[in-house]
Structure 1
């Protein structure tokens, strides 16, 4: 007697599980579109409160560690410069989301050769001295970096990414169990997810942050065209030559074209702010 094929039943269970997980996601519009027109809706499974609390705790731990190592805010002039630029950008965040003015913003400079800066959910900012010194950034270029990182926080990209990964991980695990895929099959499914969904979504996050960042900079009175020279400098110090389709960031040429176009779009805001 031939064994009864159970794949349709298993597929139905996997589909129902997937639909349940997706239904648990909340569709949100985290920001207003601004002049640059960011209006993509996002699906969130993780609450903003959950991620903000986690980020605040992580930031507090990091700052305490940096203070103990005497690598926190060592250069008063650098700290004053970074905080001044940050405050001008933060003052413009209400264009994209009014509630951001009530965030508990923090801005600190960490002594490290790493060329890096970031803004955690809820407005926790860190700039590494390596970025300032190795790139010899102008105020306009530093505003481009900070505007980009602040935009990530405004759009809640970290929350969106964590939500996507939680759903994808659950679906892959359920599917692997029901279909008997084993560890190798589950790993292959995870790679497929990253190639088809994860990396493209990360690149879209970077593009959104680029576009919002130039608008924040322009409104704050910083030349948005500096974003182009900034990322060109970043490209020169980066050892990565990963192809676009394998990278979480757009290629240098794609990014330069997009930033040039959107910098021109927000130039009237910059000229108005300079009056």
Structure 2
């Protein structure tokens, strides 16, 4: 006989049944192999489509303001680096080669860059110009951002948020449809404005390091990049660091991993 006090147990079982343990990428030379828990009702395609709409809105607003860089020296530079990195994504995720990749540059003083779900890249000129980034350092930023997209860290964060949201609805009459709507409304917040977890940051660091090396960019640039990022802004850290928190262990982790990817870089350079 069903008892009222067993409802949380049943609900918890339903939540677990809706989760899938996946590994979105192969481990590569850097060995990223953490299992990720995703809600099956929140598909990769849904998240990609949701983000694509937000991305197009951002581009439209930038175009209306006349700050969307098209066929300029800096946009050509960023696109050339992006194409070399994108060519290497099958090493971690073969299906990502078929994504509808887009690369755009916005003329803004923001020290920021992003690669959202489905391969939607935005770079802000402020990041490149104010920090005087080399091509290798741009590749380090972009590789890190692409890694977030390959690992579907945005979808993973949304799945966790959905789980918390659903758990709080025990005893309520809210259906999955309402929950999905609320999840969609909070999607951009989780994908663009909330800090990444330390584990996600570490994965993006390592995969990004390997992507850059495979594309022929010096992996040591990741060290100088984060040194520049940490020094920028003084008491007012760059926008990039609000969603990509730095830590004292980051440089140490990168330095210990560089020997693993240096042969890939040297092979590409040859």
Give the TM bin, normalised by the shorter chain.
Answer: 0.7 to 0.9
Q: 1:248 Cα deviation (Å)?
A: 6.8
Deviation at 1:9, TM superposition (A): 5.0
Specify which structure has the higher proportion of helix: 1
Q: Is the 8 A contact 1:202 1:248 kept in 2?
A: no
Q: Secondary structure at the match of 2:168?
A: helix
Q: Secondary structure at the match of 1:262?
A: helix
TM-score by length of 2: 0.83
Distance 1:114 1:248, change over 3 A: closer
CA distance in 1, matches of 2:171, 2:268: 54
Query: In terms of Rg, which structure is larger?
Result: 1
Alignment correspondent of 1:151: 147
SS at match of 2:69: coil
**Displacement, 1:202?**
1.3
Give 1:128's aligned residue. 124
1:218 counterpart (187, 193, 213): 213
Distance 1:93 1:205 in 2: 18
8 A Cα contact 1:36 1:266, kept in partner: yes
**From 24, 29, 42, the counterpart of 2:18:** 24
Residues 222, 64 of structure 1: alpha-carbon distance in 2 compared, 3 angstrom cutoff: same
Change (3 A) 1:131 1:9: same
Which of 255, 262, 271 does residue 266 from structure 2 map onto? Answer: 271
Show the counterpart of 1:36.
30
Deviations 1:229-272 (A, max 9, x none): 1011111125468xxxxx97564320000011112211011111
Is the CA contact (8 Å cut-off) linking 1:207 and 1:250 kept in structure 2?
no
Unaligned runs of 5+ in 1: 1-7, 178-197, 242-246
Paired with 2:243 and 2:54, the residues of 1 have a C-alpha distance of 23
Distance 2:258 2:245 in 1: 17
* Residues 1:264 and 1:273: Cα distance change in structure 2 (over 3 Å): same
Distance change in 2, residues 1:38/1:117 (3 Å): same
1:95-138: CA deviation from partner (whole Å, max 9, x where unpaired): 00111111110000011111010001110000001100111101
Alignment of 1:78-89 (within 5 A): 78-89=74-85
Structure 1 length-normalised TM: 0.82
Partner of 1:235: 230
* Unmatched segments (≥5 aa) in structure 2: 174-193
CA distance in 2, matches of 1:251, 1:120: 20
